[in-house]
């Protein structure tokens, strides 16, 4: 089992930022409604806390409040946030079990989808921009391997 103690403070911050950044990318992909989506983002963490015990890494991650570094624009959030999400997945692939990596990816995608669904309740459908954002998030969760130093 992999836990918080297996990572430096900076690495842990990177891992914690990923799911929240994905939710914020979905939130800012389309105009309108940020309050409900922000609430759903926090609710996703609370619901994951209730499923405590299946994944030690995820349990430690959702025990903390979701937080995202401040970005100056939605474009910067998307670019840098998704780059950092890919970096977090690469780190997990090096240190965590396959199940823990899968749990992290699944949780992150669920957070983004929940945020998009919350907006759907307000405007009768997930927007094309939100669908595109979720596709970008999914791609970030499956980054290509880093080039080796040969």
CB 14 within 8 A of CB 66: no
Q: How far apart are CA 51 and CA 46, in angstroms?
A: 9
| pLDDT for 149 | 46
Between CA 137 and CA 113 the distance in angstroms is: 10
Separation between Cα atoms, residue 108 and residue 110, nearest integer Å: 5
Q: What is the pLDDT of residues 49-95, one digit of tens each?
A: 888 677 889 999 999 888 878 889 989 999 999 999 999 999 999 99
Domain residue spans of the chain? 9-64+83-140
Q: Per-residue pLDDT for 34 more than 80?
A: no
Residue scoring higher pLDDT (147 or 10): 10
Question: pLDDT tens for residues 80-135?
Answer: 999 999 999 999 999 999 999 999 999 999 999 988 888 655 555 678 888 999 99
pTM of the full predicted structure?
Answer: 0.88
């Amino acid at each position: 089992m992999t836990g918080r103690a297996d990572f430096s403070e900076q690495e842990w911050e990177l891992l914690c930022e990923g799911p929240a950044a994905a939710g914020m990318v979905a939130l800012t992909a389309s105009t309108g409604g940020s309050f409900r989506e922000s609430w759903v983002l926090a609710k996703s963490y609370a619901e994951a806390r209730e499923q405590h015990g299946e994944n030690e890494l995820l349990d430690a991650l959702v025990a903390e409040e979701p937080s995202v570094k401040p970005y100056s624009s939605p474009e910067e959030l998307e670019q840098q946030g998704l780059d950092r999400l890919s970096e977090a997945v690469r780190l997990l692939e090096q240190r965590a079990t396959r199940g823990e990596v899968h749990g992290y990816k699944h949780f992150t995608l669920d957070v983004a989808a929940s945020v998009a669904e919350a907006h759907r309740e307000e405007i009768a459908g997930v927007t094309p921009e939100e669908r595109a954002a979720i596709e970008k998030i999914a791609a970030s969760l499956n980054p290509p391997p880093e080039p080796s130093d040969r």
